[in-house]
Structure 1
Amino acid sequence: MEKSIATLDKGTICSSWNYCGQRLATGLIDGTVSIFHTTDPASSFFTSTFNFKVNNGSVTKVVWVPPEYGDAIACICSDGSLSMWEEISEDSEPVQWKQCTSFGGPLEQVLDGQFGNSISSLKLTIAYSNGLVKVYEILDPMELKNWQLQAEFQNVTDPLTKFGKATCSLASVSWNPQRSESRPASFVLGYNSGTSQLNSPKVWEFDQDHQRWLPVAELAEISDKGDHVNALAWAPNIGRPYELIAVATSNGISIWQMASNPDSNGRLSVEKVAMFPCNGNEVWQMEWDMSGMTLATSGTDGRVRLWQSNLNGNWHEQAIIESAT
Structure 2
Amino acid sequence: MVAWAPPDLGCLLACASSDGQVSVLDFANNTWSHTLISAHGMGVNAVSWSPSGGLPGAIARKADPSQQTTNRRFVTGGSDNEVKIWEWNQQQNTYTQMLSLPEGHSDWVRDVAWSPTLLSKTYIASASQDKTVKIWTSTNPTDINSWQLATTLKDFGDAVLWRVSWSLSGNVLAVSGSDGKVTLWKENLKGCILYVMEL
**Distance (Å, rounded) in 2 between the aligned partners of 1:217 and 1:118:** 25
Amino acid at match of 1:249: S
Aligned 8 A contact 1:134 1:152 in 2: yes
Cα displacement (A) at 1:254: 0.9
The residue number in structure 1 matching 2:146 is: 269
1:306 aligns with one of 171, 184, 195: 184
**What's the Cα RMSD here?**
2.1
Structure 1 position 268, deviation (Å): 4.9
5+ residue gaps, structure 2, are 55-67
Residues 237 and 268 from structure 1, CA distance in 2 versus in 1: closer, same or farther, beyond 3 angstroms?
Answer: farther
Higher relative contact order (CA 8 A, sep 6+): 2
Q: Figure out how many residues of one structure are paired with residues of the other and give that number.
A: 184
Q: Aligned pair in 2 of structure 1 residues 272, 148: CA closer, same or farther (>3 Å)?
A: same
TM-score (normalizing by structure 1) = 0.52
**For the Cα contact (< 8 Å) 2:126–2:134, is it kept in 1?**
yes
- For 1:120 and 1:272, the matched residues in 2 are separated by 27
Contact 2:77 2:109 in 1 (8 A): yes
Distance 1:271 1:127, change over 3 A: same
Match of 1:67 in 2: none
Q: Are the aligned partners of 2:3 and 2:15 in contact in 1 as well (CA < 8 Å)? A: yes
The aligned amino acid for 1:243 is T
Counting only pairs closer than 5 Å after superposition, residues 248-287 of structure 1 correspond to structure 2 as 248-251=127-130, 252-263=132-143, 267-277=144-154, 278-287=156-165
Post-superposition Cα deviations, 1:242-279, rounded to whole Å, max 9, x if no partner, equal: 2101011122111111242534xxx3521111111232
Residue of structure 2 equivalent to 1:320: 198
Residue aligning to 2:60: none
Q: What TM-score do you get using the length of structure 2 for normalisation?
A: 0.82
Percent identical pairs in the alignment equals 27
8 Å CA contact retained: 2:52, 2:70: no
Contact 2:122 2:141 in 1 (8 A): no
Query: Offset of 1:287 from its aligned partner?
Result: 0.9
Contact 2:9 2:70 in 1 (8 A): no
| 2:123 aligned residue (232, 244, 249) | 244
Unaligned stretches of 5+ residues in structure 1 = 1-111, 157-162
